[in-house]
Chain A
Amino acid sequence: MGKVLMKGNEVIGESAIKAGCHYFFGYPITPQSELVAYMAKRLPEVGGLFLQAESEVSAINMVYGAASAGVRVMTSSSSPGFSLKQEGISFLAAANLPAVIVNIARGGPGLGNIQPAQSDYFQVTKGGGHGDYYTPVLAPSTLQEIVDLTQEAFRIADQYRTPVILLGDGVLGQMMEPVEFKETSEEMHLFEKDWATTGTVGDGPPKTITSLDLNDVSLEERNRKLQEKYETIKDQEVRVESYKMDDAIYGIVAYGTVARIVKSAVDRAREAGMKVGLIRPISLWPFPSSYIRKLSEQLQLNKLLTVEMSAGQMVEDVRLSVEGIVPVHFYGRNGGVIPTVDEIYQEILKLKYGVMV
């Protein structure tokens, strides 16, 4: 199959279908509506089911139902609508149900605007809803990476029986790039779901899926198992890329769209003779803490700079990772403003020469 030119939102949809996701429950919101529209058009063509729910809350609960039946299922939204899904995500996590939830983030808080943002970082990486839980979060930075990570999201969801979040921002959702879809691998269908509530035929006790547990001791035991699962995920599912870090003395940490802008700024700073590189977390939870820590130690980094389209969220995880061994600076734009290559370049210069007069 050759390359096609697609919008980020469309790529998520097509990649999910290729991963065997034939069920989508959605509700439109800018800047992710094209994903909902694409699924509405495409899913009937592959014998799947698209349903536009009456709200984000009902969509996420439909996902709960479909996931309980053992099928691959997805829903998507953007920041305010994603907030509405939090109760449902907590229920999915508690009930050990695999599903993929997409957030194409926009400027907040509140209704905010429809421009791109990364200010939902705390929400996606620290649980988001109530109770002790985490969701794996994948943050692509190119549309080709969306192809791969959407499929990975389904793999992680099934393997660990957990909701997984695919986080992008309006730029990734709206931009167009050529992408190539590989043939779907057999491995994607390997997960046997003997827990699915598809009815018994006298072959055992009825199966139930619930997040309710009225007994404190057994709920604590369920939580302990959840935490054990999170430890395994932290151990197995960290993803990170580094760019021009081999001899770097300054490291910039950025993810998603911003990482691409930082790459251009790093190239420019390299041309000016500065030893600077990029560390790009791809999994935001689990966060590549030990990777950043080890790299900082090995290279004896002088300074780290975190760049985000937020008022400063991921920077907290970067600081926790290095525990004070390297100073961590921050540069951010928010409210839907995208930092420019030049702005970031100026921040890199400040790392070396201090504050510009």
Chain B
Amino acid sequence: MERKLIIITGHFGSGKTELAMFYASKIVKTSKRPVALCDLDVINPYFRSRDYGKELSVEGVRLIAPKGELLKADLPIVTGEVAGVIENDHSHVIIDVGGDKDGALSLGQFSHLIKNRPYEFWFVLNANRPYVSTKLGIINTINEIENASRLKVTGIINNTHLGEDDYGPEEVVKGESLALQASMDLGIPFLFSLISNEVRKRWGRNEYTTSFKDVEYFDRKLLAPWSK
């Protein structure tokens, strides 16, 4: 597998961290190159990839995040190691960016390093989140993120769900349709929908689930304290 440099962005709370961790674990299983996951989230204080360093290391993924006491500091820290792993063209890199344009700002400082090598810049969409539930909202958010990060989004991923609720596959269809509309308008390819294995099991096979475009199934890692 050629070297992957994947940056994951999206509206705040759209599921970037789940996707980043899932994709890092997926690549590590299919490629001989080392895989690094950079936690660039300076927006959220909880539910970040840095809280899963141990699990990631068991899977063979190296976590790049503030260390020691600084791991849970209330400071927008981006470690110097990030530039190092981006420039190391031997290693696969997944970058988990904080939400919206505010989160994307911390990515901007690396844009000169990223621009001159092959990269993928994914926008994750959960159409049940405020401000990205319409095509216009999605386009605005993508524009803002591109401006702040000085990079171009290269793919849209649909991660539309309703958390622990007993929702149906039509939620995925709804997100897929919005993602496709935004994709057409912006000329950015739609990549796939993301569905947790737990939900897949609940739905089984039906007229909806067989109509999905490309789908990636994953195991949820970010669980509430009462679900652990």
Contact = CB atoms under 8 A, between A and B. Distances in A.
B45 interface: yes
Contact of B133 (A4, A115, A340): A4
B134 interface: no
Contacts of B161: 5
Given A5-B161, A175-B47, A261 B226 contact: yes
A5 B227 contact: no
Interface in A2-23: 3-7, 10, 14
Given A4-B133, A30-B74, A176-B163, A170 B227 contact: no
B228 interface: yes
A215 to B, nearest CB: 47
- Dominant secondary structure at the B interface: loop
Given A30-B74, A113-B72, A175 B224 contact: yes
A178 interface: yes
Interface in B74-126: 74, 126
B13 to A, nearest CB: 5
B158 to A, nearest CB: 14
Contacts of A4: 128-130, 133
A338 B225 CA distance: 7
Contacts of B226: 260-261, 263-264, 341
Interface in A338-354: 338-341
B54 to A, nearest CB: 16
A129 interface: no
A339 B130 CA distance: 31
A85 B227 CA distance: 35
B227 A114 contact: no
A5 B13 contact: yes
Contacts of B72: 113-115
Interface string B147-190: 00000000000000111110100000000000000000000000
A6 B228 CA distance: 21
Nearest to A38: B130
Contacts of B47: 174-175
Nearest to A116: B46
Contacts of B44: 174
Contacts of B162: 3, 5, 178
A30 B13 contact: no
B225 A261 contact: yes
B228 A260 contact: no
A317 interface: no
A177 interface: yes
A178 B224 CA distance: 14
A135 interface: no
A171 interface: yes
Contacts of A341: 225-226, 228
A163 interface: no
Interface residues of B, number: 24
A263 B226 CA distance: 8
B164 A7 contact: no
A178 B13 contact: no
A170 B129 CA distance: 20
Interface in A119-166: none
Contacts of A30: 45, 74
A339 B74 CA distance: 22
A3 B74 contact: no
A31 interface: yes
Contact of B128 (A14, A175, A178): A178
A114 B74 contact: yes
A266 B228 CA distance: 14
Contacts of B164: 177-178
A3 B228 contact: no
B174 to A, nearest CB: 10
B13 A176 contact: yes
Given A176-B13, A176-B163, A340-B228, A171 B46 contact: yes
B225 A5 contact: no
A314 B128 CA distance: 37
A257 interface: yes
B165 A178 contact: yes
Interface string A293-311: 0000000000000000000
B45 A5 contact: no
A96 to B, nearest CB: 35
Contacts of A6: 13, 129-130
Nearest to A177: B163
A260 B129 CA distance: 24
Interface in B5-52: 12-13, 44-47
Contacts of B129: 4-6
Nearest to A141: B226
5 contacts: A3-B165, A5-B126, A5-B128, A116-B46, A341-B228
Interface of B: 12-13, 44-47, 72, 74, 126, 128-130, 133, 161-165, 167, 224-228
Given A5-B162, A5-B163, A339-B225, 6 more contacts: A3-B167, A171-B46, A177-B163, A178-B165, A263-B226, A341-B228
